[in-house]
């Protein structure tokens, strides 16, 4: 089998020990009368779909929708799973945008898995927001219309030099902001001394703060519930950061002005951002190291996120 990013033992670990427990926990608290639905980037083999439907009955295949920009991958998973699986071929940025009205009827989802392969801040042109962040905001807006809480799983490449200079502007501004407002100076310190090997830690602090802000501004109490870093087959140039978030809709009274609602959410955002800096980053490759010479691989429990 080809050594692809999606079939590494480390990725398997993420599915089993990072995604699955969070999905099961969320599902156990989900209203039983609402269909538990999944939106995912499945890749050419749909390993997450296989895992969540066949090995663990978390979703029914008819409750899954795939967004896939590669025609080849879309055709492969169509052959593998048949017509019951809904596949929409296209770039998530276009599919999630407000002009893509055709995608709106398929919302809301219970779990959204944005399992990217490239960098979060690899921005093609000067713009107000990185493309990936805009995808997240578009999805949050669609979920808000349905007042629907959900789980967001996010993964992207955090290898040194994966993000370009335009993207670094966003990174530096956020690092300065959280250092100033919270005294959380680690990200800024690492960036200013150019410590490239710490880029996963830097983005592990900054991206959750931005996602929590975006959720809060759409009336979601948003918590970062996990962080993990893995290097597929030990390759540094594809170091991946995985994050998980839980969005609970806050349902503001219709009688309250926007100003009042956003003032209240400001406190929630600040509290959740401060908590997110304390969430421990699980180092998947370290976890998987043999216990002793020739000994078995460790299969320890994922520690509860520090909240
Ligand atoms: C890492 S694979 C997904 C693996 C899968 N989640 C699993 O657990 O095996 C990522 C897939 O998403 C697709 N993809 C990445 N970025 C995308 C985007 N912006 N829009 C649509 N598809 C995207 C890629 O073509 C690739 O097939």
pLDDT score for 305: 40
Measured in Å, residue 4 CA sits from the centre of ligand 1 at 12
Confirm or reject: Cβ of 153 under 6 Å from ligand 1.
no
Atom of ligand 1 nearest to the CA of 70: 25
- Average pLDDT value for residue range 102-125: 92
Expressed in percent and rounded to 5, the helix, strand and coil fractions of the chain are 50, 20, 35
pLDDT band at 193 (very low <50, low <70, confident <90, very high): confident
Q: In terms of Cα–Cα distance, which of 95, 96, 280 is closest to 201?
A: 280
pLDDT score for 295: 47
Q: Collect contacts of 90-97 with beta carbons under 8 A, ≥24 apart.
A: 92/41, 92/67, 92/135, 93/131, 93/134, 93/135, 95/67, 96/134, 96/135, 96/138, 96/139, 96/142, 97/134, 97/138
**Which residue has the CA at smallest separation from atom 27 of ligand 1?**
43
The answer on pLDDT for 302 being more than 80 is no
Measure the CA angle with vertex 211, ends 208 and 216; round to 5°: 120
**Which residue has the CA at smallest separation from atom 6 of ligand 1?**
42
pLDDT score for 296: 47
The answer on pLDDT for 196 being more than 80 is no
- Average pLDDT value for residue range 31-38: 92
The answer on pLDDT for 134 being more than 90 is yes
Confirm or reject: Cβ of 96 under 6 Å from ligand 1.
no
Could you give the domains of the chain?
5-287 (3.40.50.150)
Output 193 or 155, whichever has higher pLDDT: 155
pLDDT score for 293: 52
Atom of ligand 1 nearest to the CA of 44: 27
pLDDT score for 112: 98
At 41-84, the pLDDT tens digits run: 999 999 999 999 999 999 999 999 999 999 999 999 999 999 99
Where does the chain have alpha helices with state H? 9-13, 20-28, 47-50, 71-81, 92-96, 131-145, 165-182, 186-192, 199-217, 258-276, 284-287
- Average pLDDT value for residue range 116-126: 90
Atom of ligand 1 nearest to the CA of 11: 8
The answer on pLDDT for 32 being more than 60 is yes
- Average pLDDT value for residue range 182-208: 90
Confirm or reject: Cβ of 230 under 6 Å from ligand 1.
no
Mean pLDDT, rounded, of the chain: 90
For the chain, percent of residues with pLDDT exceeding 70: 93
The answer on pLDDT for 121 being more than 60 is yes
Confirm or reject: Cβ of 131 under 6 Å from ligand 1.
no
pLDDT band at 301 (very low <50, low <70, confident <90, very high): very low
The answer on pLDDT for 99 being more than 90 is no
- Average pLDDT value for residue range 269-296: 85
């Amino acid at each position: 089998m080809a050594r692809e990013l999606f079939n590494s033992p480390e990725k398997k670990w993420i599915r089993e020990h990072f995604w699955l427990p969070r999905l099961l926990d969320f599902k156990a608290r989900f209203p039983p009368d609402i269909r538990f639905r999944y939106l995912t980037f499945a890749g050419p083999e749909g390993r997450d779909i296989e895992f969540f439907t066949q090995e663990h009955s978390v979703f029914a295949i008819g409750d899954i929708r795939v967004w896939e920009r590669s025609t080849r991958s879309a055709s492969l998973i169509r052959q593998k799973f048949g017509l019951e699986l809904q596949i929409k071929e296209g770039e998530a940025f276009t599919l999630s945008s407000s002009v893509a009205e055709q995608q709106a009827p398929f919302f809301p989802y219970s779990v959204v898995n944005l399992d990217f392969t490239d960098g979060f801040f690899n921005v093609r042109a000067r713009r107000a927001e990185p493309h990936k962040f805009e995808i997240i905001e578009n999805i949050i807006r669609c979920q808000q219309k349905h007042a629907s809480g959900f789980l967001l799983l996010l993964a992207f490449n955090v290898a040194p030099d994966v993000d370009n200079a335009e993207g670094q502007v966003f990174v530096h501004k956020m690092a300065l902001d959280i250092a100033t407002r919270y005294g959380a100076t680690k990200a800024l310190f690492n960036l200013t001394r150019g410590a490239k090997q710490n880029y996963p830690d830097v983005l592990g602090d900054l991206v959750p703060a931005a996602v929590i802000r975006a959720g809060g501004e759409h009336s979601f109490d948003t918590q970062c519930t996990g962080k993990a870093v893995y290097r597929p087959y030990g390759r540094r140039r594809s170091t991946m950061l995985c994050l998980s978030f839980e969005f609970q809709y806050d349902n503001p009274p219709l009688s309250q002005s926007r100003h009042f609602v956003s003032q209240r959410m400001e406190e929630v955002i600040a509290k959740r951002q401060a908590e997110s800096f304390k969430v421990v980053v699980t180092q998947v490759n370290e976890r998987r190291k043999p216990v002793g010479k020739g000994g078995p691989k460790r299969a320890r429990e994922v520690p509860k996120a520090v909240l």
